[in-house]
């Protein structure tokens, strides 16, 4: 799996986890919200921490809605970057149906779901969770 796809998959997983925490109570004392989310990432916990710690808005988020918002915005940005990378590959390899499918339908759906989740986060967290 290329780094772009791996990052997108991890962001997708994190989005599901973080949106599910949006209505939860605060984390235990001394624990930051993003750490709680990464603890739920199972075997990807260390990669999750490394990824999220690169974004100060994420590591300093004081509530789950803000944390969700920041993570979804990163997911949209990184997903779009990954899609653009795959579209360049598609131009270099026009006969690859797999690259074409991934660069268009798959990434269109993923980025669209993140955008939909972000727009519904405050008013309808359950739908936002479903969309993410």
The pLDDT of residue 49: 92
Residue pair 67/15 in contact (Cβ under 8 Å)? The answer is no
- Residue 11's SS3 state is helix
Residue range 18-46: mean pLDDT, rounded: 76
The model scores a pTM over 0.85: no
Model confidence over 55-113: pLDDT tens digits?
999 999 988 889 989 988 998 998 999 999 999 999 999 999 999 998 888 889 889 98
**pLDDT: which is higher, 22 or 58:** 58
For the record, the structure tokens of 57 come out as: 């808005």
Residues 6+ apart with CB under 8 A from 34: 49, 52, 53, 58, 59, 61, 67
| Rounded Cα distance, 28 and 44, in Å | 21
Give, as one character, the DSSP assignment of residue 18: H
- Provide the phi-psi class of 31: left if phi over 0, else alpha when psi is between -120 and 50, else beta: beta
């Amino acid at each position: 799996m290329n780094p772009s796809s791996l990052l997108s998959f991890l962001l997708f997983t994190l989005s599901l986890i973080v949106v599910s925490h949006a209505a939860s109570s605060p984390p235990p004392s001394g624990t930051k919200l993003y750490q709680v989310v990464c603890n739920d990432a199972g075997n990807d916990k260390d990669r999750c921490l490394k990824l999220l710690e690169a974004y100060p808005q994420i590591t300093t988020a004081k509530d789950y809605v803000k944390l969700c918002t920041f993570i979804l915005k990163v997911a949209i940005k990184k997903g779009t970057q990954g899609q653009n990378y795959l579209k360049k590959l598609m131009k270099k390899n026009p006969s690859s149906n797999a690259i074409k499918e991934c660069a268009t339908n798959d990434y269109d759906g993923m980025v669209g779901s993140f955008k939909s989740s972000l727009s519904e986060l405050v008013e309808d967290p359950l739908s936002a969770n479903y969309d993410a």
